[in-house]
Amino acid sequence: MARHFDNELRDLKFSLLAMAGQVEEMIALTHASLMERSDAKAQQVIQLDKGVDELELRLDQACIDLLALRAPFASDLRLIASTLKIVPELERIGDHCSNIARRALTLNPMLPLDAGDYLRRLGEETHSMVRRAVDAFVNLDADMAHAVIKDDDRVDALYVQMYRELLRIMIGDALTIERASHLIIVIKNWERIADQATNIAEEVLFIIGGVSVKHPYLQVPPSEG
């Protein structure tokens, strides 16, 4: 039986994708603002954040409306409940991009700091995780969601490596401390964006399987229950 509700759920998904699209654009611009040392792109990031915030408000309301008016069950319920949790993750990614963009504006007039290839890789890996987490949501692809969760380890490792590299640079030359400190905050924000992609992937697995995969250490193995 065709349901009017299905159209409403489709609209909700489209709105979430629109928000994810904006956030991905922010990520791309954020990365470029660092790589190309572009103030213009950093400014664009900061401006795009407002649109993402607006979409958060609209999506929150849409979810509350659907819960109240449709009293959904089963996969409909899981989709809406998870959307309510994915939306703030996307909004936080936007905030992290803004934070990085502000640091980029500070860093761009300064001399470049050669900290190796880490910054490029961090931006690319993190962007890829967010993109694939959103794709996993669209296609309800559990394999892709698992892959995203796994990739968080790579981003964490890159973050640790670059942090150490920046420490080395600072210890070697006190004149680099200001720039390196800004960069430490930049990479911390990338690391957090990757965490948010992981959280989105976990929500996707909840939509698919109906079981939370969060905090595996709290999950009692069936044999012990």
Q: Using the Cα atoms of residue 100, residue 105, residue 110 and residue 116 in order, give the sign of their dihedral.
A: positive
Residue 156 in the binding site for another protein (CB under 8 A)? yes
Residue pair 153/224 in contact by the 8 Å Cβ criterion? no
Stretch touching another protein by CB under 8 A, among 27-35, 84-92, 128-136, 141-149: 141-149
> Residue 13 CB, nearest distance to another protein (Å)?
16
Q: Which two tokens stand for residue 77?
A: 């319920």
Among 91, 192, 200, 204, binds another protein (CB under 8 A): 192
Residues 32-51 contacting another protein, CB under 8 A: none
CA distance linking residue 71 with residue 25, whole number of Å: 34
222 binds another protein (CB under 8 A): yes
88 touches another protein by CB under 8 A: no
Instruction: Pick from 163, 165, 169, 182 the residue near another protein by CB under 8 A.
Output: 163
Please work out the total of residues on this chain that contact another protein, with binding judged by CB under 8 A.
46
From residue 135, how far is each of 18, 130, 152, 197 by CA, in Å? 13, 9, 16, 11
Report whether 145 contacts 136 (CB < 8 A): yes
Q: What is the DSSP string of 22-72?
A: HHHHHHHHHHHHHHTT-HHHHHHHHHHHHHHHHHHHHHHHHHHHHHHHH--
210 sits near another protein (criterion: CB under 8 A): yes
Question: Measured from the CB atom, is 51 or 72 closer to another protein?
Answer: 72
Amino acid at the residue 127:
H
Q: Which is nearer to another protein, 102 or 146 (CB)?
A: 146
Q: CA nearest 87: which of 123, 62, 65, 124?
A: 62
Q: Provide the minimum distance between the beta carbon of 71 and another protein in the complex, in angstroms, as a whole number.
A: 6
| Contact status: 140 vs another protein (CB under 8 A) | no
Select the residue interacting with another protein from 28, 67, 77, 84 (CB under 8 A): 77
As measured in angstroms, the least distance from the Cβ of 88 to another protein is: 15
Site for another protein contains 212 (CB under 8 A):
yes
CA 126/CA 189 separation, integer angstroms: 10
Q: Is 225 in the site for another protein (CB under 8 A)?
A: yes
CB 206 within 8 A of CB 199: no
Site residues (vs another protein, CB under 8 A)? 1, 3, 5, 71-78, 142, 146, 149-150, 152-153, 155-156, 159-160, 163-164, 167-168, 171-172, 188, 191-192, 195, 198, 205, 209-213, 216, 218-222, 224-225
